[in-house]
Amino acid sequence: MAERGGTSLDPWLHHYAARTAGLSASEVRALFAVASRPEVVSLAGGMPFVSALPQEFVMSALERTMRNHGAAALQYGSGQGTERLREHILDVMALEGISASIDNVVVTTGSQQAVDLVAKLFLDPGDVVLAEAPSYVGALGVFRSYEAEVVHIEVDDDGLVPEALQARIASVRAEGRRIKFLYTIPNFHNPAGVTLSAARRPEILAICRANDILILEDNPYGLLWFDHAAPDALRSIEEDGVIYLGSFSKTFAAGFRVGWALAPHAIREKLVLASESAILSPSVFSQTVIAEYLDAVDWRAQIDTFRGLYRERRDAMVTALDDFLPDIRHTHPGGGFFVWLDLPEELDSKAMLPRAVKELVAYTPGTAFFADGNGRQNIRLSFCYPSAEQIRVGVRRLATVLSAERELLETFRGTGDLRSRSNDQRTTTPPPDVV
């Protein structure tokens, strides 16, 4: 549509809602396209290694689904999810110390939809969501879409720092801003790789209870521990103040897109209504296949298989980092998919990414995991998808990139401020296979 002789190539430009302002293609997002090439070792992706799931398990669950439940599985279903799957979900959550009623479980299209539904229920423009620094990029995108502001809270090797949480609550409230909830990933954090210690869990709960702040506990990686089990879930200690999110994406298969929320009854009612208005019902087909799988297969043993696989890859990643980047601080995750790197101050992970892609290695710059522009001195590396050998090759290439970047910066040392070279403050939201 012409605009005084010109065209913007988007005739609806002035019709978009204000909240869509951040929805734009970015250079970093374009760079992730290269990661799919086989020549590139991608340490950027967060994709579970579903090939470790024996195909016959899935084929047989599919076959039984169609043979025994064909008509129902292909039909619309309950907005809350099938009773059968919700029963199984109770068994899964019991492994993390949670006891609940199926009435309070809401099946969702991946736990990502549960994050969206909770945000839809609670967030008005300008509301504050507290989250770890850094936090899950997929949740940051949801909160931004509801025009909320994320205030990050410091984490250390034991997870969220209670004193920092307390101080932040006070400072945000002193500014007259309204905190709606704390979004936290207590186990094997994405992207930080740390776990909230057992000792801190009651402290965090007590602080939130005392300050009337709801907790959104996102726990997709809790069962994927390597060395010892994660402490029991926050929801196992406190029922009324916690919405718990779980997922089959990492313990079964992400392609079925099934997750869930466990919520206090009043919130659960609203979650079901909100979900029905968004998607009518979660896929009955996917839910039935998963229920068939959980009925017929020793799924706990399969989770053990996943643990062994990811443990080997975590070890390969940590060893390679120690060998090739001995002076770069990194986390040592006890589970999950990710390692978090702290770079020296002069390095900028976002600016380095084009050079890394040229060297055939991809990573996710730390900026993706902050809502406030921080993270330039951080990198998230994932060890879930590439083999141990590929991980070692990738880290070696990354070391070459860092070395070249340091040499370049060393060349220009003393000539002025070389940091924060890009003016782009847009959130570098990666595509779904990377989050």
Binding site for another protein (CB under 8 A): 3, 5-10, 13, 24-27, 30-31, 33-34, 37-40, 351-352, 354-355, 357-358, 360, 405, 407-409, 411-418, 421-422, 424, 426
Task: State CA 265 to chain mean position distance.
Answer: 26
Instruction: Give least dist CB 350 to another protein, A.
Output: 11
Instruction: Give least dist CB 415 to another protein, A.
Output: 4
Instruction: Give least dist CB 44 to another protein, A.
Output: 14
Instruction: Give least dist CB 424 to another protein, A.
Output: 7
CB-neighbour burial class of residue 17 (10 A; exposed 0-12, middle 13-18, buried 19+):
exposed
Instruction: Give least dist CB 345 to another protein, A.
Output: 15
Nearer to another protein (CB atom), residue 5 or residue 326? 5
Cα distance between residue 435 and residue 430, in whole Å: 6
Side chain identity at 194, as an amino acid letter?
Answer: V
Instruction: Give least dist CB 145 to another protein, A.
Output: 17
Task: State CA 252 to chain mean position distance.
Answer: 17
Tell me which residue of 24, 2, 32, 21 sits closest to 382, measured CA to CA: 32
Cα distance between residue 366 and residue 61, in whole Å: 39
Nearer to another protein (CB atom), residue 24 or residue 101? 24
Sheet with 364-365, strands from edge to edge, namely 329-330, 338-342, 378-382, 364-365
Instruction: Give least dist CB 26 to another protein, A.
Output: 6
Contacts of 270 (CB under 8 A, 6+ apart): 121
Contacts of 195 (CB under 8 A, 6+ apart): 158, 159, 186, 187, 188, 189, 230, 231, 333, 334, 335
Taking the CA atoms of 60, 63, 69 and 72 in sequence, report the sign of the dihedral they define.
positive
Q: Report whether 303 contacts 223 (CB < 8 A).
A: yes
Nearer to another protein (CB atom), residue 141 or residue 336? 141
Nearer to another protein (CB atom), residue 38 or residue 176? 38
Instruction: Give least dist CB 150 to another protein, A.
Output: 22
Nearer to another protein (CB atom), residue 255 or residue 431? 431
Residue keyed to tokens 């009612």: 269
Q: Report whether 314 contacts 226 (CB < 8 A).
A: yes
Nearer to another protein (CB atom), residue 55 or residue 415? 415
Nearer to another protein (CB atom), residue 296 or residue 408? 408
> 135: phi > 0 → left, psi -120 to 50 → alpha, else beta; which?
beta
Instruction: Give least dist CB 33 to another protein, A.
Output: 4
Nearer to another protein (CB atom), residue 288 or residue 364? 364
Nearer to another protein (CB atom), residue 51 or residue 423? 423
Can you read off the two tokens belonging to residue 428?
A: 């570098």
Q: Report whether 84 contacts 105 (CB < 8 A).
A: no
